[in-house]
Amino acid sequence: MKTESKLQQILDNGQFGVTAEIGPPKHSSSEGMRHHAHMLKEHVDATNITDNQTAIVRLSSIAAGVHILDSGIEPIVQMTCRDRNRIAMQSDLMGAYSLGMRNVLCLSGDHQQFGNHPTSKNVYDVDSMQLIQLLRRMRDEKKFFSGEEIKEHEPRFFIGAVANPFADPFEYRVARLEKKVEAGAEFIQTQCIFDMERFERFMEMVRARGIDERVHILAGVTPLKGWRAAKYIQNNVSGMIVPEELVQRLKSAEDPKKEGVNICVEQIKYIKENIKGVHGVHIMAIAWEEVVPEIVERCGLYPRPKIN
């Protein structure tokens, strides 16, 4: 199903997509986001806008989407299942569409215990799998999730989901990805890849099931600023794997930041050239957005295709 998403056009054309990420601030000014958007706009096809990531209250992802769109980048609105029930989700999705957003990424969301309101309730009225179905039902069947008809102007999003090749049980991650495709996901962004060997094994299983031919898979990468960041992720973030040699390489580097960028560029080039079935890259430069243009250029992914 064709939507008005530019990202979809690029991916459907068979071009190697590039997306990045912008995290809304913990205040009510759009200045910083606009600044980041201007910095990225020539170098990426779309940017994700995180939805209260790590359960920390931030400016609304949909409101942020308006600022990003206004700054000349196509937003991918992230929607987690933690904070809204199905009524609020559908309402926000229609609102987002009315504001010009054309891509949604469905995810469970981090548990609130990690955020700045650990004593809050969580919702999870629908899960990420069901949210994909909800979006498909609204778009393809012109129905609300309950089955009630949407008489006109149904939201027509390009529907994304996530996959984490580094979480367990490893083999089931591939089956679950297939389940998301069955549910209706059209593009997939993966968790940050540091353990390339494991990602290759993951993609091998993905190809064996033919999943890469049914969905656009964008490999997630993150440039690291130094060995401490690597060590932190290695020890403290559930569902991520950072090989020790990567930590050591950053530790022994003369200029760790430069080395972090080098590693990221190597990863992207390797993925693009050697791992079949990957249709793009999703660069999550956490609090380091300014480095994205350099990475994109050094990977030979600049200029980006023009879509009207």
Task: List, in sequence order, the alpha helices (H) in the chain.
Answer: 6-12, 31-40, 61-70, 86-98, 128-140, 170-183, 196-208, 227-236, 244-251, 256-274, 292-298
The bridge status of strand 158-163 relative to strand 75-80 is unpaired
Query: CA–CA separation, 221 vs 207, rounded Å?
Result: 20
Q: Stretches 24-32, 116-124, 174-182, 207-215: which one binds another protein (CB under 8 A)?
A: 116-124
Nearer to another protein, 114 or 276 (CB): 114
Question: Is residue 274 a contact residue for another protein (CB under 8 A)?
Answer: no
How many residues line the site for another protein (CB under 8 A)? 8
Nearest distance, CB of residue 236 and another protein, angstroms: 18
Nearer to another protein, 118 or 210 (CB): 118
Nearest distance, CB of residue 121 and another protein, angstroms: 5
Q: Which of 3, 60, 122, 234 binds another protein (CB under 8 A)?
A: 122
Nearer to another protein, 120 or 262 (CB): 120
Question: Is residue 169 a contact residue for another protein (CB under 8 A)?
Answer: no
Q: Which of 3, 54, 60, 120 binds another protein (CB under 8 A)?
A: 120
Rg (Cα) of the chain, in Å, rounded? 18
Nearest distance, CB of residue 146 and another protein, angstroms: 17
Q: What is the DSSP string of 68-127?
A: HHHTT--EEEEEESSS--HHHHHHHHHHHHHTT--EEEEE----GGGSS-TTS----SS-
Query: CA–CA separation, 3 vs 70, rounded Å?
Result: 20
Q: Between 59 and 98, how does the x/- string for binding to another protein read (CB under 8 A)?
A: ----------------------------------------
Q: Which of 85, 91, 113, 238 binds another protein (CB under 8 A)?
A: 113
Question: Is residue 54 a contact residue for another protein (CB under 8 A)?
Answer: no
Q: Which of 14, 28, 119, 168 binds another protein (CB under 8 A)?
A: 119
Q: Stretches 88-96, 113-121, 130-138, 234-242: which one binds another protein (CB under 8 A)?
A: 113-121
Residues 228, 18, 50, 31: is their CA dihedral positive or negative? Answer: positive
Q: Stretches 108-116, 219-227, 251-259, 295-303: which one binds another protein (CB under 8 A)?
A: 108-116
Residues 117, 123, 126, 127: is their CA dihedral positive or negative? Answer: positive
Q: Stretches 14-22, 94-102, 115-123, 187-195: which one binds another protein (CB under 8 A)?
A: 115-123
**Spatial CA neighbour of 185 closest among 52, 79, 91:** 79
Nearest distance, CB of residue 113 and another protein, angstroms: 7
Question: Is residue 239 a contact residue for another protein (CB under 8 A)?
Answer: no
Query: CA–CA separation, 229 vs 247, rounded Å?
Result: 9
Burial of 163-190, coded b for 16+ CB within 10 Å and e otherwise, reads bbbbeeeeeebbebbbebbebbbbbbbb
Q: Which of 112, 128, 130, 222 binds another protein (CB under 8 A)?
A: 112
Six-digit token string for 10: 């690029």
Which residues are at the interface with another protein (CB under 8 A)?
111-113, 118-122
